[in-house]
Structure 1
């Protein structure tokens, strides 16, 4: 076999790219999605690429199986429709590269599946009935009838056959991998216990609920290409492209099928570069492009919580402003006012309403925080008070305060069950097997790009 050629450098070859963009004015179809991160102050969006005519030729050959420029243009349109990203002069190369890589991988998968069907005399490839059921589910997730879903694709110049072939390859390949290797995988009790010990050791560390997009540098043609692609995807998500849809179409991580959802991860479980970025982020933020050894991550921080060893408290306060150099008489008068208010308040439920009736007093919700992170003047009260109790007036440089403890809990989360750990390890090992299988298929294949 001739060694496989990397699928790179395609933008310079033309391949009738603009034809894939002819229908971008139609509203994009978006799968069920997590909320997109808030957009920054608007900069002028790049102007969409103009549409041109289609001239069909050969884009690539995979073991004598032709991928035409029509196939490539159709897949690019599907990527645009399902990712929510508007095509521009800046990102068109990324659409083309991702579309061609996906088509090459699917051709290799289908060739292997057909060979296995012939050798083993079994049915592996999904039939039309299964594909129609998948499309019906997609339409249901978008809250539209199947006919309307298909019509919306066609309005964007996407033949339903393009979507069916993508689904056929994905569904059949997953079935083959699970069927061939799933029954052979055994997650031992020692593996589960070792994972439980690792989780227990990291339980006191901060934990992050994240979604991820991972661009594999080897897959896309190098680290520089991965960084450029990640930067372009971030810009599009900041302008409203949904993270979940982008992850499904562009991420090389095993979490892509779940829209990039990686769940809760603890400090120490991630690459140091990713962890360093997360420590500087707040829930709801989208990261910059994070370069690691073999690619580039984009992280969306959905939530963050303290480790199990921390105490977390939810507080409200009522306060009177007082300068640092306030006289003893001013402090005494403010203390009397807050003490009188404290006697009327029953807890967090009525603190703000009662405070609103007292001239000069401002009340508000301080939210949830680890007790150790509170200002020293507040920390002692938070440690000693129970939920529903109020502090005595507390003097700070800003004024005089009374605190109400709304809730108090230990940080972190409940430990994962043995069954949950076993299921996670099973999925990780199966995903690793699938990646190795694809690597071997690419290595032994003859892949030519035109």
Structure 2
């Protein structure tokens, strides 16, 4: 497992800071600004949104006194600690410090230090959980290798940026230990059941027929930054920095309170189905073009920044598995014959399932049973298509009249055709990641609620 802060620094020191993961096709406007390393920024602001913030002023110097700035269960955080974490945050996110955004950077750094203290204290409760110097060294060696440097050169570059190697090592030690603790404690609870996986596959298949948006997100939680106005002001500063060249993923990793901040690609919210989000977000999704970045979007409890990575229409290929019972009736059949057939099928329908429908046909005189297999909905008889598209999996329809007779349809499966079709393995990985992230956030929240935290 790689550790977020360290990975960001490794990428930056290699000259390949976290870039965006927009589609390869050149969809962003030609005026999209570039990062200092030559990479494209997240994207242009939505032209339908409010005017972009004014360009940032030259970066200010910042100094903090060396006294105690906070304590966590009597373990202190000093001004030195806070300066070090601010430098790590600035380096890893490529945010350019300004007079306007320094308070937000300081608050984010302080929050990170408080959580680090809580994690470190919790780790000490597990005597068998010891992160050795060798493990920390191995991680630094791997990070340096990815940056094309030796370990010594890598740490020297951190020192040149003002980050003391010892502070960096201790941060890394805590993150390694916390990752091991969370994985060991919650691994079994994070596993999804077979029922959950099957339900997720069905949900993904049903969603695949609707328009979808591949989203990058940053969420500034008002409660963590001093209120809604502070969240809005901070979000405006981040938009300015991203448009000016700071990589979206690195900014999301350090400033976002959304679960996606801890994703393999920080800020990656994945494919979002139309009309499954708050109206303010959906309106923005509809307005943004691929490669564009939104202005801050206030919602209850905080503010979002959205990066539109891609869009796609719903899949045109929807496959459904059907089985049927049928009473043959020509188009010229009398109303009396149709009524008799209807009573027969209605009498059978209540107890039918996908598992017994064919055996019931064999046991009932005058009724035929057929496994129709898997078909594209568009290729089915028009009378069958509505049931095939919308009926619940496992349900049996009311009698349906066609030129061939009267039918009961059992919908036994549904999936997307083509490359977008989700697999059970995909669904299982998705659910496990979501479950583990929820359990970790709850764990850290409980530690914070139980702690004595004082900010000077």
Say which SS state the counterpart of residue 255 (structure 1) adopts: helix
**Structure 1 residues 94 and 248, CA gap change in structure 2 (3 angstroms):** same
Q: Which residue of 1 aligns with 2:169?
A: 164
**Deviations, residues 403-426 of structure 1 (Å, cap 9, x unaligned):** xxxxxxx99852210111011111
Q: Which residue of 1 aligns with 2:403?
A: none
Q: Does 1:418 align with 2:418?
A: no
Q: Which residue of 2 aligns with 1:116?
A: 126
**Structure 1 residues 89 and 67, CA gap change in structure 2 (3 angstroms):** same
**Structure 1 residues 32 and 278, CA gap change in structure 2 (3 angstroms):** same
Q: Which residue of 1 aligns with 2:288?
A: 281
The TM-score normalised by the length of structure 2 is 0.65
* 8 Å CA contact retained: 2:13, 2:147: no
Say which SS state the counterpart of residue 124 (structure 2) adopts: helix
**Structure 1 residues 211 and 135, CA gap change in structure 2 (3 angstroms):** farther
Alignment partners' CA distance in 2, 1:438 and 1:215: 18
Alignment partners' CA distance in 1, 2:62 and 2:233: 24
* 8 Å CA contact retained: 1:62, 1:448: yes
* 8 Å CA contact retained: 1:307, 1:411: no
Q: Which residue of 2 aligns with 1:341?
A: none
**Deviations, residues 55-102 of structure 1 (Å, cap 9, x unaligned):** 310010100101011000111111111111111100000110000000
Alignment partners' CA distance in 2, 1:188 and 1:27: 42
Say which SS state the counterpart of residue 209 (structure 2) adopts: coil
**Structure 1 residues 283 and 180, CA gap change in structure 2 (3 angstroms):** same
Q: Which residue of 1 aligns with 2:79?
A: 69
After alignment, is 298-307 or 42-51 more displaced? 42-51
Q: Does 1:444 align with 2:430?
A: no
Which residues of 2 match residues 93-242 of structure 1 at below 5 A? Answer: 93-117=103-127, 122-123=128-129, 125-242=130-247
**Structure 1 residues 51 and 418, CA gap change in structure 2 (3 angstroms):** closer
4+ long deviations beyond 6 Å: 26-30
Which residues of 2 match residues 251-270 of structure 1 at below 5 A? Answer: 251-257=256-262, 258=264, 259-270=266-277
* 8 Å CA contact retained: 1:207, 1:412: no
Alignment partners' CA distance in 2, 1:163 and 1:246: 19
CA displacement at 1:193 relative to structure 2: 2.2
CA displacement at 1:134 relative to structure 2: 2.4
Say which SS state the counterpart of residue 183 (structure 1) adopts: helix
Unaligned runs of 5+ in 1: 1-25, 312-409
Alignment partners' CA distance in 1, 2:197 and 2:205: 12
Which residues of 2 match residues 335-354 of structure 1 at below 5 A? Answer: none
After alignment, is 129-138 or 438-447 more displaced? 129-138
Say which SS state the counterpart of residue 96 (structure 1) adopts: helix
**Deviations, residues 247-286 of structure 1 (Å, cap 9, x unaligned):** 1211222222322122322223433322221111111111
Which of 99, 117, 123 is equivalent to 1:89? Answer: 99
User: Number of residue pairs matched?
Assistant: 321
Which of 15, 19, 31 is equivalent to 1:33? Answer: 19
Which of 310, 314, 324 is equivalent to 1:303? Answer: 310
After alignment, is 189-198 or 99-108 more displaced? 189-198
**Structure 1 residues 183 and 33, CA gap change in structure 2 (3 angstroms):** same
* 8 Å CA contact retained: 1:247, 1:256: yes
Q: Which residue of 2 aligns with 1:434?
A: 440
Alignment partners' CA distance in 1, 2:256 and 2:14: 19
**Structure 1 residues 173 and 153, CA gap change in structure 2 (3 angstroms):** same
CA displacement at 1:29 relative to structure 2: 7.1
**Structure 1 residues 141 and 175, CA gap change in structure 2 (3 angstroms):** same
Q: Does 1:48 align with 2:54?
A: no
